[in-house]
């Protein structure tokens, strides 16, 4: 059984967390999940698609946690009015993750021509999946930005079997890491040349 399917079947237990903390985590996932879904289609990567599914399940679990937290925090009509808006934001955020799941579902359609990848490559921003060579290991993500110039954003880093989503700029990248990056075509090309030692 796939990891995301197994997690989907797990019972969600209440954890004492603040509304702000849960909403922040939901926001972080929503910021990266759509880009990862596009990357899965662009590279026809079942591996990235599985990570999108896992994040989609995590978003569902967070929404359930949010609902339990809000119900426990509601004591008056005023509380209910204020927290109703929070639930609307949580619902909208979950819709984003569901849309990302719909995008990776398109990978299962059997089309004669690979239309989707070609369409995605025509956008203003493209997505790149690159391996970090040993010669740049130990570099922070912000240093990579400085070397390549503005115009790219590291969406995720894969290290062995582990993924780091929306990594902080001060995160060190290691040799053999794989990075998912979005940005303009010129910036992506410059980054690839730098990683290949051609710039």
Report the distance separating Cα 126 and Cα 185, nearest Å: 6
The answer for 44, left when phi > 0, alpha when psi is -120 to 50, beta otherwise, is: left
What is the rounded distance in angstroms from the CA atom of residue 119 to the CA atom of residue 25? 31
The residue among 76, 108, 140 that closes a domain is: 108
Q: In CATH, what number is assigned to the domain containing residue 144? A: 3.30.70.1450
The confidence band for 123, taking pLDDT boundaries of 50, 70 and 90, is low
The CATH number of residue 18's host domain is 1.20.58.220
The answer to whether residues 104 and 135 belong to one domain is no
Residue 172: its pLDDT value, please?
A: 92
**135 shares its domain with 183:** yes
Is the domain of 75 the same as that of 98?
yes
pLDDT in tens, 156-195: 888 887 788 888 899 998 888 888 888 888 888 888 888 8
Contact in structure between 141 and 154 (CB atoms under 8 Å): yes
Q: Sort 148 into a burial class: Cβ within 10 Å, 0-12 / 13-18 / 19+.
A: buried
For the chain, helix (H) and strand (E) counts, in that order, are 7, 6
Could you give the 3-state DSSP secondary structure of residue 92?
helix
Residue 18, domain extent: 14-108
- The answer to whether residue 117 is domain-embedded is no
> Looking at the predicted structure, is the pLDDT value of residue 136 above 60?
yes
pLDDT tens digit sequence for 139-151: 899 988 888 776 8
Count of structural domains within the chain: 2
């Amino acid at each position: 059984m796939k990891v995301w399917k197994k997690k989907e079947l797990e019972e969600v237990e209440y954890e004492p967390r603040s509304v702000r903390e849960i909403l922040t985590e939901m926001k972080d996932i929503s910021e990266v999940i759509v880009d990862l879904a596009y990357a899965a289609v662009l590279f026809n990567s079942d591996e990235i698609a599985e990570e999108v599914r896992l994040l989609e399940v995590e978003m569902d679990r967070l929404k359930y946690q949010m609902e339990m937290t809000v119900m426990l925090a509601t004591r008056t009509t005023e509380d209910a009015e204020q927290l109703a808006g929070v639930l609307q934001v949580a619902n909208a955020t979950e819709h984003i993750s569901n849309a990302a799941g719909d995008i990776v579902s398109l990978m299962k359609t059997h089309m004669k021509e690979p239309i989707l990848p070609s369409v995605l490559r025509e956008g203003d921003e493209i997505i790149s999946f690159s391996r970090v060579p040993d010669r740049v290991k130990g570099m922070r993500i912000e240093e990579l930005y400085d070397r390549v110039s503005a115009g790219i954003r590291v969406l995720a880093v894969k290290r062995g079997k582990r993924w780091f989503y929306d990594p902080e700029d001060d995160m060190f990248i290691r040799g053999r890491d794989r990075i998912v990056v979005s940005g303009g075509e010129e910036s992506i090309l410059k980054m690839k040349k730098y990683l290949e030692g051609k710039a």
